Amino acid sequence: MGGTRITESDRRFVELLVGERAQQVLDALEQRPEHFTFMTGGIRSSNLARDLLLWCRLVLRVVCSPLTPRTSAADAICCEYETGVREARESLFARYLPDKRIVYVSAAARPTVASWAWETARTAGRLLVFLCGIDRREPSEMGSRYVHIAEYCIVALSWARTVRSDEAYVMRAWHVLTPILSVFLQMHSVSTSILTGTTGRIVKYEIVLPANRLLLTHPYQVYAALQLPGPRGVQVLELWGPIHLPEMEDAYTGRDISEPENTVGVYTQGFWLRGMIGSTPPEAALRRTELESALMEILESWLEANPKGRVIHFPHPMERRRFRETGATGGWPIEQHPRFVTEVTSGARSVDSFDHCAVGVTTYSSVAFDRLYMGFRTLSFVGDDGMPDRDVESPFHELYCTSADEFLQKLEALLQSSDEEFSETYFGGPLSEWRPSAKMLEAMRTFGQTELGAADRSDLR
């Protein structure tokens, strides 16, 4: 089931922050996938006493805002809600915007003296009335975050004004905060550019986000965004590259790449564990767990048919942590095979070890898109789930397999080729050097005003 659960209190809250543009935010949230709710911690009940304490903290921070350290002018702010990824974001912006000075605004940021304004006082006053008058019997994802969302909007705007910038880069497209923040900043003359997530794929929700620009992080997203049907909230598309690209370039630049023959690397996403801890909707977790089990069965049959074959399992970081803490694994029979190895002890990240196998395989892991971008042979098994984005035509879809026979046939072909031959065959050369065609560029530039018809799809290949 898609869409974010929106209560009447949620609607009133969005109207409180963005006024007449509230419906634009709500329309976007209706397209938001259900699993995004689980990614932000799920649906929780709100608490009046807690909200009032948070409101008092917000007011105190605004009152004390002159104590916030001053900073010089900047070209833009980066709205990155998470607090522990600043170094990675600095590398990303240094890669794509080397001449711009970016100020980072996390959830830990404090409002600046620029928050001393009538509109801040009005927002805080209306927020207090709202918190005291809402019906708290119906929980929602947004309900336990009302004060946090309002405070972050105030903080982000105050920093934009302090550094005299009219441009904001907004991370975490999946967060329930994102469309609200984007419209809030736009209403105060700050243009917004939202970066797509790390999955490689793109969902309809991301193209209906109310943003001036959507920054795509993989060539596949260009094909998908231009062809996905439905409404569009984004005005302009722009292609960057994978969010982890600076790290991957550091890992592989100047490195002697020598991949072991007959070695397959399998990347899992830990859906067996996600289902246990409730970080993924139960039905989706079960379906994806069964899909990963089917892939493991196929690889076990491949090992039996290939005496010199070897499989290395690269678990999701979540799975690695659980293994180190409890020794728990996915429980696949292939784990008992003498030529199957699980990489959990070295501490190396998956993006640093693409050359540890000849071919990488997965179901839906974002690692597949990172591998493809860096030129490594990669194959995906989607089984009975069916072809993702089946309405989209792209060379990437030739690397999705829906049956065991198709998967094994393509796996053998990839094992017999080289990385260079692979990239040339499927993409006409390295993906890192891929650029949109002239027709694509025009469609990206006018994205919010036009919709590419089915008859135009042949021009995108």
For residue 86, being part of any structural domain is answered with yes
Which residues does 248 contact at the CB level (< 8 Å), separation at least 6? Answer: 242, 351, 370, 373, 374
- What average pLDDT does range 180-202 have in this prediction? 91
Are 171 and 209 within 8 A, CB to CB?
no
| Shared domain check, 21 and 162 | yes
Q: Is residue 203 part of a domain?
A: no
Q: For the chain, how long is the longest CA-to-CA vector?
A: 74
Q: Mean pLDDT across the stretch 55-83?
A: 92
Which pLDDT does position 455 carry in this prediction? 40
Q: How confident is the model at residue 460 (pLDDT cuts 50, 70, 90)?
A: low
How high is the mean pLDDT of the chain?
Answer: 89
Residue 86 vs residue 338, higher pLDDT: 338
Residues 184 and 269 reside in one and the same domain: no
Q: For the segment 159-171, what is each residue's pLDDT rounded down to a tens digit?
A: 999 999 999 999 9
Q: Which pLDDT band, with edges at 50, 70 and 90, does 38 fall under?
A: low
Same domain, 57 and 182: yes
Residue 102 buriedness (CB in 10 A; 0-12 / 13-18 / 19+): buried
**120 and 46 within one domain:** yes
Give the model's pLDDT for residue 88: 85
Strand, coil or helix: 140: strand
CATH code of the domain containing 354: 3.40.50
Mean pLDDT of 175-189: 96
- What local confidence, expressed as pLDDT, does residue 7 receive? 93
Query: Number of folded domains in the chain?
Result: 2
Residues 158 and 265 in one domain: no
| 186, 320: one domain | no
Whole-model pTM: value is 0.91
The predicted pLDDT at position 346 comes to: 55
441 falls within a domain? no
The per-residue pLDDT for 454 is 44
Domain end point (choices 195, 211, 237): 195
Looking at the structure, tell me whether residues 191 and 285 fall in a common domain: no
Number of helices (H), then strands (E), in the chain: 18, 12
Residues 260 and 338 placed together within one structural domain of the fold: yes
Percent of the chain scored above 90 by pLDDT?
Answer: 64
Q: Do 292 and 405 reside in the same domain of the chain?
A: yes
Where does a domain end: 153, 174, 195? 195
Residue 376 lies in a domain: yes
67 domain residue, yes or no = yes
Per-residue pLDDT, averaged over 388-401, amounts to: 85
Residue 219 maps to a domain:
no
Instruction: Please compute the mean of the pLDDT values over residues 348-362 and round it to a whole number.
Output: 87
pLDDT (mean) for 268-280: 83
Considering only CA atoms, give the Rg of the chain: 24
- pLDDT category, 458, cuts 50, 70, 90? low
Summarize pLDDT for 107-120 with one digit per residue, the tens.
999 999 999 889 99
Which of these three, 175, 195, 215, is where a domain ends? Answer: 195
Q: Is the pLDDT of residue 222 over 80?
A: yes
Q: 16 with 90, same domain?
A: yes
DSSP 70: P
pLDDT of residue 353: 87
Instruction: Give me the amino acid identity at 215.
Output: L
Residue 92 has pLDDT above 80, yes or no: yes
Instruction: Encode 216-255 in three state secondary structure.
Output: ECCHHHHHHHHHCCCCCCCCEEEECCCCCHHHHHHHHCCC
Q: 84 vs 109, which has greater pLDDT?
A: 109
Q: Which residues contact 223 (CB under 8 A, 6 or more apart)?
A: 392, 393, 394, 396, 460
What is the domain extent for residue 413? 255-429
Q: In terms of pLDDT, which residue wins out, 213 or 138?
A: 213
Look at residue 441 in the predicted model and tell me its pLDDT.
94
SS3 170: strand
CA-based nearest residue to 335, from 315, 318, 354, 351: 315
Give residues with Cβ within 8 angstroms of 224, minimum separation 6.
Answer: 201, 202, 389, 392, 394
304 and 183 in a single domain? The answer is: no
User: Tens of pLDDT along 431-452?
Assistant: 999 999 999 999 999 999 866 5
- Is residue 263 in some structural domain? yes
Strands 263-267 and 359-362: parallel
Q: pLDDT tens digits for 193-217?
A: 999 976 678 878 899 999 999 999 9
- At residue 407, the pLDDT reads 97
For residues 285 and 372, state if they share a domain. Answer: yes
d(CA 446, CA 459): 17
Is residue 461 domain-resident? Answer: no
